[in-house]
Each structure stands twice: as C-alpha cells, then as structure tokens.
Amino acid sequence: MDTTALLTKATEYFRTAKVVTQKVAELLSAQVCVTNEQGIVIASSNLELVGLSSNDLDNTATNHYLRVPLSVDMQAGEVIVGEPCNGDVISPRLAQVLIEMVINQTAIIDNLPTQHQLKDKFIYDLLHGLIDETTVVRYSKLLGLDLSPPRAVILIDASEYILGNHPQQSEETVEVKIRRRAQLVISSIVRFFLLPKDTICAYIGDGEIAVLKASNTKNLANWAKSGDVLEQSSYSWANLTALNRAAIALLACLRADTGTEISIGIGRYHPGIQGLAHSYQDARAALSLGCRFHGKNQVHCLAQLGIAALVGVSDEKTKIELATHLLSPLDREPELLATLDTFFATNLSSKATASQLLIHRNTLTYRLEKITSLIGLDPRRFDDAVQIRLALLLRSLNSTFAAKR
C-alpha cells in the first residue's frame, strides 16, 4: 500500500477515534481513551492522556474497567473506558453494547452520501444523459432543483485551485480538501449570481464545476446591452451574448477569489430537460477547443471560436447549426450571398467578381463591408474567408440532406 493510502487510512481512524471518544464519554459520563495499533492513546476525553501508552494508564488516576476493540478501514486499536465519574454503576456488558452501537453508527454515517454529494451525482448523470426524464423530474423535486426556467450550462475549470497543492498539514484527507475547495468555488458563484441557494451548481469531478444557469430574459437582464435581442424562451443562440458577458464577469470574480487559473466554457440553451445534456456538450467542446487554441483564463463559446469550432467539433449537427447561426444575418440578403459565392469562385479576386456580377468595384467594396458588419467576419481576410467558406459549405450540405428527406 502506498504512503498516501496509509496516511488516508490513519487519518480516518484518528477522526473516528475522536468522534467515538466524545460520544461515549457523554453517554457513560466516564473518562474515555482510544489507542492505535501501537497502544498509544491518540484521542481522550482527558487531553493530558494523549500520547501515553495504554500500559501507562495504569499509573494514572484512570481506573479503566472496560476495553472494546476498534477497527476502521484495516486500522485497529482499543476504546478504553474508565469508571463512571458520577458514581453510577453500569454493567460492562451494557457499556460494551453502547460503545459498539456508537462505533457502528459513526461508520454508517460516514458512508452515507451527503446532500451535496447526491446533488452532484444527480447533475453529473443529468448532464451526461445517464438518466431518463421521469427520473430527472422525480429527483429534481427531492433535491429542490428547479428545472422549469430555460437553462444553459456554464462549465468552469477550476482544477488548479480545487486539485492543486494539498499539503498534508491538517487532519483532512485530500478528498475532503477537494470537496471543501469545490464548495468554496460554488459559494463564490452563488454570491456572484445572487442566488438563494446552490442547488444549480455541482462539482462534477476533475476540478470542474457545472452551473445550470437560468438563461431567459429575466435572468440575463443585468448583462444585456442596448441592441441585444433577448428572447424569453432563450432559444438556442438568442441570449448567448448576454450569457457570455455574465461568464466574463464571473471569471474575474472567481480568479480574484481563488488567485488561480480559471477557464470557462458556455453552452447554448436547448429546449427540454434533456436539452441540458446538449448544452453541456456545447460547453465541454467550447472549453476544450478554446483552451487548446486560445489559451486559459478566458471564457470560451462555440460561436466565438471561429474555424476551431467548425473543424474541431465532432458532432455534425452542431457544426451545421454553428454555420447556420454564423450566416443567419445574411438570410434576407440574397444579393450578398450571391456576392460571396462569386467572390470565392473567383479566388477572392475583386476585379473578377465585379466583372462577373456586372457591378462597379465600389459597389463590390460596399457589399463586402456590409457582409463584414453583419456577420463580424471580413471575406477579404484569409482566416475569415476560410471560416465563411466552411460555413457556406456546411449550410449547403444541410440543405441538400433536407431536400433528400
């Protein structure tokens, strides 16, 4: 067994010893000590006895009359009980039964998952599509999780803070420290969004926190600006700009609170309870691709990843939706779409494009600038041109498939 495992087991035994000492001392009104395998007192209702060997107890004022074995996770020792301080007479058999009940109760409680652990497991399963809708509805009610508002997933990578540098200087195990740090991150999120409770946040492992953020107009109004088009239904891409601003402000808050590297991926809203799993996939892809191509300490969103998203996302449907979203401002501009087709067909030659379209070069310049203002990409720049071209191809593929159905 490695050193870390041994330390973990020894720490767990010590923690159990303290709980048993306290409870038994209260129940029997007696002095109680717990020893380890070497017979050294590691916990006692009389702190002066800690560190003595069990044999040395004979030379103290302690008249121990009962010893009960204690075993926790392959660590063994004894519970040593002195005579009751109040003069009561308790049969050794009754005392032993009480001690064994305390030991068993402590072990059972330790093995029971907490409310936070149950919620984390539920949200993990929900986001990974591992539970059906009926189960989701039932358990969300039991856990007090309101899934009725439209929600999108914010995925936070706080692994440097949650998993990093856990010195063995306290009684806490590494697992306890990880969970405590995860809860501190969640508390920061709750304060930032002014939430009444943390039910919509979960630690899903590997240093990551998932937030099921309500993403309709009411809940994003604080981050909307003049000109933003917010939709009450929060359908797909509609409220993503405001959600992105919220995530940027959240990132600054979390970096200040933790003093470490934090990265965030945000997903679109998808309708229905099972849509949360799709939103999580968006956020996961955005976080992974964004950190790889644009670096950490940023907020990443598929709609802002450019070529990386159109090429790097594995889900074909998502790529087509990205392309459709990118080109949607041109849907009512057939003239501009035709201009783009010709511009790419002539290998980005302004002269050839103007000639084929029978328009003046200034008119072509006006059209290209209008395209840039509408979609935020300039077809005269190489990287932007590649992205627009890919989007056009993906959208045309989608139209072809739809026509064949």
Rounded Cα distance, 265 and 293, in Å = 13
Percentage helix, strand, coil for the chain under 3-state DSSP, each rounded to 5: 55, 15, 30
Residue pair 260/271 in contact by the 8 Å Cβ criterion: no
Separation in Å, CA 154 to CA 34, 269, 315, 365: 47, 11, 19, 40
Indicate the SS3 state at residue 223: helix
Tokens 């993990």 locate to 124
Q: From CA 381, how far away is CA 282, in angstroms rounded?
A: 27
pLDDT, residue 1, reads: 47
Report how far residue 212's alpha carbon sits from residue 385's, in angstroms, rounded to the nearest whole number: 35
- Per-residue pLDDT tens listing for the chain (405 residues): 455 555 556 677 888 888 888 888 888 888 888 998 888 999 998 888 888 888 777 655 445 568 888 887 678 888 888 877 766 666 777 777 887 888 777 766 665 566 788 899 999 999 999 988 888 988 888 888 889 888 999 999 999 999 987 555 555 578 888 988 999 999 999 999 988 888 899 999 999 999 999 887 778 878 877 655 555 444 566 678 889 999 999 999 999 999 999 999 999 999 888 899 999 999 999 999 999 999 999 999 998 888 888 888 888 888 888 888 889 889 899 999 999 999 999 999 999 999 999 999 999 999 999 999 999 999 999 989 999 999 998 888 766 545 555
pLDDT of residue 9: 62
For 202, the 3-state DSSP assignment is strand
Residue 308: predicted pLDDT: 85
155, two tokens: 């995925």
Q: pTM for this one?
A: 0.68
What pLDDT is attached to residue 204? 96
pLDDT confidence of residue 82? 83
Confidence at residue 8, expressed as pLDDT on a 0 to 100 scale = 57
The pLDDT, as a whole number, for residue 321 is: 86
Kindly list the distances between the CA atom of residue 315 and the CA atoms of 37, 213, 283, in Å, as whole numbers in the listed order. 57, 23, 13
Q: Which of 74, 5, 80 is nearest to 42 (CA)?
A: 80
Q: What per-residue confidence (pLDDT) applies to 348?
A: 92
Domains of the chain, each with CATH number or no CATH: 3-111 (3.30.450.40), 115-305 (3.30.70), 327-404 (1.10.10.2840)
Q: What residues are paired with 208 via a beta bridge?
A: 157, 205
CA distance 395 to 340: 14
Q: What local confidence, expressed as pLDDT, does residue 110 receive? A: 60
The pairing of strands 151-157 and 208-214 is antiparallel
The tokens describing 302, both together, are 């598929």
DSSP 346: T
- Cα 130 from Cα 127, distance rounded (Å): 8
CB 81 within 8 A of CB 48: no
